[in-house]
Amino acid sequence: MTQATCPRGDTSTWWSPATLRGTKAIIIKFDKETCRPCPVRDQCTRSKTGGRTLSLQRRELQEVFDHARLQQANEQWRAKYGTRAGVEGTIQAVAVTGIRRARYLGLQKTHLEHVFSAVALNLIRLDAWWNGHPLDRTRVSHLARLDLSLAA
């Protein structure tokens, strides 16, 4: 039987193949009786009653994810992503104007709706720029929030 070991040295009690969002994975569970009295439980799981549960991707896919996470720690990657994040900010058109689905039938009316939506977005951006208000906050990951709370 294959087992996983937690950081405190306890072994898993259940290991099973599964399909998560269409991708093959392995689900690993630790016994709740082992996890409940653990002094570092809050660092392992958010579950209040059960034990720790892990979801692992296939080895090849997990290695790709791990490699990508290592690259994301690089300053050059962060600068490149900063440009992408700016471009992704333009996707606000969907949230602000509901442009994903046309309100009207016909190419000319739909085109006119898109033009009006673009003008509205430009006015919103100009207003934010003139008044010195950023349009959106940059997303802060859970790990970064934890790091900020520990630093305070």
Q: What is the pLDDT of residues 7-64, one digit of tens each?
A: 788 888 888 888 887 888 888 888 888 887 888 777 777 777 778 888 888 888 888 9
The confidence score (pLDDT) of residue 112 equals 92
pLDDT (0 to 100) of residue 108:
93
Rounded to an integer, the average pLDDT of 72-82 is: 83
Question: Do 45 and 12 form a contact (C-beta atoms < 8 A)?
Answer: no
Look at residue 145 in the predicted model and tell me its pLDDT.
66
Q: How many CB atoms lie within 10 A of CB 6?
A: 19
**Could you give the CA distance from residue 98 to residue 105 in angstroms, rounded to a whole number?**
15
> Could you tell me the pLDDT band of residue 90, with boundaries at 50, 70 and 90?
low
Q: Give the pLDDT of residue 139.
A: 62
Looking at residue 89, what DSSP letter applies? G
Q: How many CA atoms lie within 13 A of 56 on its CB side?
A: 14
Q: Where are the alpha helices (DSSP H) in 89-140?
A: 92-97, 107-130
pLDDT of residue 71 exceeding 60: yes
**Chain segment 94-123, per-residue pLDDT in tens:** 777 777 788 888 999 999 998 998 888 888
Confidence (pLDDT) at 135:
65
- Reduce the DSSP state of residue 14 to 3 states and report it: strand
**Side chain identity at residue 147, one-letter code:** D
Whole-Å CA distances, 30 to 33, 39, 81, 101, 142: 9, 15, 37, 46, 23
pLDDT(124) > 70: yes
pLDDT at 136: 62
